[in-house]
Amino acid sequence: MTHLSTWKVVTLDSPPWRPMLTLGHPPPRGRHSSSSTRYVEVQVLLRDKVALVTGATRGIGRAIAELYLDHGATVIITGRDARVEAVAVELGERAHGRVCNGLDEEGVDAVVTETVANHGSVDILVNNAGIARDAMLHRMTLEDFREVIDINLQGTWLWTRSVVRHMRERGGGNIVNISSISAKAGNLGQSNYAASKAGVIALTQTTAREGARHHIRANAICPGLIRTSMSSVIPPPAWQRLLGDIPMGRPGEPNEVAQVALFLASDMSSYLTGTVIDVSGGRHM
């Protein structure tokens, strides 16, 4: 396992969780820092890897795709409509967008087959695509229950099955599943969502057990309250109540989940499988 290093330009006024990253160029002679930039040598963790990130048109999935690209991977992103292609263009030449609804069994298999044909393998799968349809249990419709289970759990299962077939043949791979803190503690109005995400944890652990002898690792992340379009619909009083439950007193940013997804996808976590990591500012610790 080799970690290649490269140079990173850190813009000092950027938040610590999203430094500017420029790969490949050492600093000009004698310019190790200036008033606004600093050059540091960093390890590129995913060089030459091929990653498939589902639901990466925005939010956490997009942040993961961006960070994997920064770390040298080729990244295939999926979304439900043609906007995904425009997002891939924005992300750069190593990003490729594919329209694929996670409910479409044949579509999922086709994206995996096409990725292997075009790029040689799928080294990393991130099951990120997900939705919420919140309502208190006594008001929730069967349709909303089914839709959430179908996309969050069945979709994750379909991608995992397809990729595991390929990873077993090629002798290894790495799967990162995005679950939720709701899976562990439940949440008001989220009987469908919490159940789907608990299923994702059980699926992760089973994939890890079945995959270990084939050098396939599978781990899950449980984000807490992360600032994305999914959480933007939370009404202000509920948002304040949620903040009160978070020891760190603030929501997380998509990139703070992406950093953990990078760790799990890289050799830095080579002895981790079947684990579930909370990224929640201490909520429900």
Ligand X SMILES: NC(=O)c1ccc[n+]([C@@H]2O[C@H](COP(=O)([O-])OP(=O)(O)OC[C@H]3O[C@@H](n4cnc5c(N)ncnc54)[C@H](OP(=O)(O)O)[C@@H]3O)[C@@H](O)[C@H]2O)c1
Catalytically annotated residues: 193
Contact 207, 273 (CB under 8 A): no
- Of the residues 9, 23, 110, 131, which one makes contact with ligand X according to CB under 6 A: 131
Nearer to ligand X, 8 or 62 (CB): 62
128 binds ligand X (CB under 6 A): yes
Strands 276-279 and 50-53: unpaired
Nearer to ligand X, 35 or 229 (CB): 229
Alpha-carbon distance of 70 to 91, in angstroms, equals 10
Alpha-carbon distance of 224 to 227, in angstroms, equals 10
Alpha-carbon distance of 141 to 161, in angstroms, equals 29
Q: How far is the CB of 70 from ligand X (least distance, A)?
A: 18
Nearer to ligand X, 6 or 191 (CB): 191
DSSP state of 250: S
- Of the residues 51, 111, 129, 148, which one makes contact with ligand X according to CB under 6 A: 129
Nearer to ligand X, 125 or 178 (CB): 178
- Of the residues 18, 38, 47, 80, which one makes contact with ligand X according to CB under 6 A: 80
Identity (one letter) of the amino acid at 156?
T
116 binds ligand X (CB under 6 A): no
* Footprint (CB under 6 A) of ligand X, residues 163-192: 178, 180
Q: How far is the CB of 133 from ligand X (least distance, A)?
A: 11
What single string gives the DSSP state of each residue in 129-156? --------TTT--HHHHHHHIIIIIIHH
Q: Which among 121, 122, 142, 120 is positioned nearest to 133, based on CA atoms? A: 142
130 binds ligand X (CB under 6 A): yes
Dihedral, 218, 222, 228, 231 alpha carbons, nearest 10: 140
Nearer to ligand X, 10 or 230 (CB): 230
- Of the residues 50, 51, 69, 151, which one makes contact with ligand X according to CB under 6 A: 151
Q: Which stretch binds ligand X (CB under 6 A): 4-12, 14-22, 101-109, 208-216?
A: 101-109
Kindly write out the interface string for residues 191-230 of this chain, putting x where it contacts ligand X by CB under 6 A and - elsewhere: --------------------------------x-xx-xxx
Q: How far is the CB of 205 from ligand X (least distance, A)?
A: 18
* Footprint (CB under 6 A) of ligand X, residues 228-267: 228-231
154 binds ligand X (CB under 6 A): no
Crossing angle, helix 83-91 and helix 59-70, to 10 degrees? 30
Nearer to ligand X, 150 or 267 (CB): 150
Contact 115, 52 (CB under 8 A): yes
Q: How far is the CB of 33 from ligand X (least distance, A)?
A: 35
Paired tokens of 146: 């089914």
List Cβ<8 Å contacts ≥24 apart for 37-40: 37/9, 37/10, 37/11, 37/12, 38/9, 38/10, 38/12, 39/7, 39/8, 39/9, 39/10, 40/7, 40/8, 40/10
* Footprint (CB under 6 A) of ligand X, residues 43-62: 54-61
Binding-site ranges for ligand X (CB under 6 A):
54-61, 78-80, 83, 101-103, 128-131, 151, 155, 178, 180, 223, 225-226, 228-231
